[in-house]
């Protein structure tokens, strides 16, 4: 009996501490970034290093699209990211259907082929969904298509649920495009 009473007393003594900890944890939650826009972003640079992968990730405040270009570093990576009414494949001009309420065209100034041999370095076909990319459960991304690689530039089409703010960052050997879940910064 004494042990049972001690257990109940301990539980009651711990309860107030647990209630007090909850507001402190909530205070540590950071707000989503704001100040991103939806206008074209461009960085002039180019590399002969090749695109080897495109991948996506889900974050608390945004969905992320990453294009890997190993060996390019940060200085040689150029890009152009903009909203388009329809994605057109470079070279041929053929339209590429991209699902969603808005289409973000992403161009990376790097080929998706070996410049010496012409052999593909990224296993995708123009107009096809990106290999290995599953957008199930994403809040913003709806579709991801390969536009192709033409004259040293590689093109992607990212279908979004709506036109939303984005930012572009160049990190070591990759271009990162983050698209916010909304305009207000609310989670």
**Among candidate residues 175, 151, 171, the one with its CA nearest the CA of residue 53:** 175
* Assigned domain for 20 exists: no
CA angle at residue 149 from 85 to 166, to 5 degrees?
Answer: 45
- The span from the CA of 64 to the CA of 61, in Å, is 10
- Inside any domain, residue 111: yes
| Radius of gyration for the chain, computed over Cα atoms and rounded to the nearest angstrom | 23
Question: Residue 3 domain-assigned?
Answer: no
**Between residues 107 and 8, the one the model is more confident about:** 107
| Domain total in the chain | 1
Q: How many residues would you count in the chain?
A: 187
CATH code, domain carrying 111: 2.60.40.3500
In a domain, 116, yes or no: yes
Distance CA(83)–CA(96), nearest Å, equals: 14
| CA terminus-to-terminus distance, the chain | 49
Q: What is the mean pLDDT of the chain?
A: 87
Q: Is residue 115 part of a domain?
A: yes
**124-162 pLDDT, tens digit each:** 999 999 999 999 999 999 999 999 999 999 999 999 999
72 DSSP assignment: -
Instruction: Give the containing element (helix H, strand E) for 178.
Output: strand 174-180
Q: Is residue 46 domain-resident?
A: yes
| pLDDT computed for residue 10 by the predictor | 43
What is the model's pLDDT at position 3? 43
Tell me, yes or no, whether 27 lies in a domain: no
What is the extent of the structural domain holding 166? 41-180
Q: What is the dihedral sign for C-alpha 171, 174, 180, 186?
A: negative
pLDDT one-digit tens code per residue, 13-67:
444 444 444 444 444 556 888 889 999 999 999 999 999 999 999 999 999 999 9
DSSP 8-class letter at 143 = E
Q: Note whether residue 10 is domain-resident.
A: no
Region 65-88 average pLDDT = 96
| Percent of the chain whose predicted confidence (pLDDT) is above 90 | 75
Task: Show the tokens assigned to 10.
Answer: 């301990």
pLDDT of residue 83: 98
Of 29-33, 85-89, 165-169, 182-186, least confident by mean pLDDT is 29-33
């Amino acid at each position: 009996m004494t042990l049972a009473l001690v257990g109940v007393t301990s539980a009651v003594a711990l309860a107030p501490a647990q209630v007090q900890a909850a507001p402190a944890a909530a205070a540590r939650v950071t707000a989503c970034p704001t100040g991103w826009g939806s206008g074209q972003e461009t960085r002039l640079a180019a590399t002969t290093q090749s695109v080897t992968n495109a991948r996506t990730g889900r974050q608390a405040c945004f969905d992320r699209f990453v294009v890997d270009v190993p060996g390019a570093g940060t200085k040689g990576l150029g890009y152009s990211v903009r909203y388009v009414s329809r994605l057109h494949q470079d070279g041929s001009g053929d339209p590429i259907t991209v699902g969603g309420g808005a289409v973000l065209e992403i161009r990376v100034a790097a080929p998706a082929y070996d410049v010496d041999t012409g052999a593909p370095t990224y296993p995708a076909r123009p107009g096809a969904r990106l290999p290995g990319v599953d957008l199930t459960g994403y809040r913003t991304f709806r579709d991801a298509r390969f536009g192709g690689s033409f004259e040293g530039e590689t093109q992607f089409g990212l279908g979004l649920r709506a036109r939303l703010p984005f930012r572009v960052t160049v990190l070591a050997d990759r271009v990162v495009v983050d698209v916010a879940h909304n305009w207000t910064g609310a989670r």
